């Protein structure tokens, strides 16, 4: 399986990092070794002094597909969750300044925290709220209606370039409010009012 991530999918997040607004989805990939299952602690790596949380809606692909038309995209996923794209921001800034790829800052071991999956039934994925609490305080409060590209548009676009396979995850981008973590932080993610994700930073 692979983890496909979409960057710069919320305008306010683009602005907070002073990034350029893209004309199409920004795609990067994490290996399966990046996964950190729900409830397991996140250990800050030694190579970074500035790890940021980025909460995202995640969809799980349920069958193989290539060049999927947008109208058929909902047939390729039944389950959704929340994930945190852990980012070594200091490493990323150095790489970006040199025009180099981001992998060392984005795809390191356990950088893709993943929560518990639930059925998409009862959710309107283009119109739902999700939030991240750090130590009991809301730090990210996102809404999928603010996405530049919807889940189905992302699937249409990504599948032009990569064969989607059963069990693949798509991280759909983070809203504004990203920030630094520190040892002892408790991170809890909610989709609507359902808790789907939690991890402790050590």
Q: What is the pLDDT of residue 22?
A: 76
- The number of distinct structural domains making up the chain is 1
- Residue 181: phi and psi, rounded to 5, are -110, 160
User: What is the rounded average pLDDT of the residues 112-117?
Assistant: 98
The dihedrals phi and psi of 152, each to the nearest 5 degrees, come to -70, -35
Per-residue pLDDT for 186 more than 80?
yes
pLDDT of 82 > 80? The answer is yes
pLDDT for the residue 18: 67
pLDDT at residue 16 is higher than 80: no
Sign of the alpha-carbon torsion through 55, 7, 102, 3: positive
**How many C-beta atoms lie closer than 10 Å to residue 105's C-beta?**
26
Q: Which of 141, 201, 137, 128 is nearest to 176 (CA)?
A: 141
Structure confidence at residue 17 (pLDDT): 62
Domain that holds residue 146: 3-200
Extended beta strands in the chain, E state: 3-7, 26-30, 35-36, 51-53, 55-61, 77-85, 87-88, 112-114, 118-119, 129-134, 137-143, 169-171, 179-180, 186-191, 194-200
pLDDT number for residue 13: 62
**CATH code, 190:** 3.90.850.10
Q: What is the pLDDT of residue 14?
A: 57
Q: What is the pLDDT of residues 57-75, one digit of tens each?
A: 999 999 999 999 999 999 9
Q: How far is CA 7 from CA 12, 17, 43, 75, 160, in A?
A: 12, 12, 23, 24, 17
């Amino acid at each position: 399986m692979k983890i496909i991530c979409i960057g710069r999918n919320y305008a306010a997040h683009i602005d907070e990092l002073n990034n350029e607004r893209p004309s199409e989805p920004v795609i990067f990939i994490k290996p399966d070794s990046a996964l950190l299952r729900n409830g397991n602690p996140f250990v800050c790596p030694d190579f970074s002094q500035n790890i940021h949380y980025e909460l995202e809606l995640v969809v799980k692909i349920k069958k193989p597909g290539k060049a999927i038309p947008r109208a058929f995209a909902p047939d390729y996923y039944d389950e959704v969750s929340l994930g945190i794209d852990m980012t070594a921001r200091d490493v990323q800034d150095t790489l970006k300044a040199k025009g180099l790829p981001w992998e060392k800052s984005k795809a390191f071991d356990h950088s893709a925290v993943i929560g518990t999956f639930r059925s998409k039934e009862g959710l309107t994925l283009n119109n739902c709220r999700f939030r991240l609490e750090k130590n009991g305080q809301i730090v990210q409060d996102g809404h999928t209606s603010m996405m530049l590209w919807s889940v189905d548009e992302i699937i249409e676009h990504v599948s032009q370039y990569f064969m989607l396979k059963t069990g693949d995850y798509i991280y759909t981008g983070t809203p504004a409010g990203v920030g630094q973590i520190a040892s002892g932080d408790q991170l809890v993610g909610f989709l609507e009012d359902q808790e789907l994700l939690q991890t402790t930073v050590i």
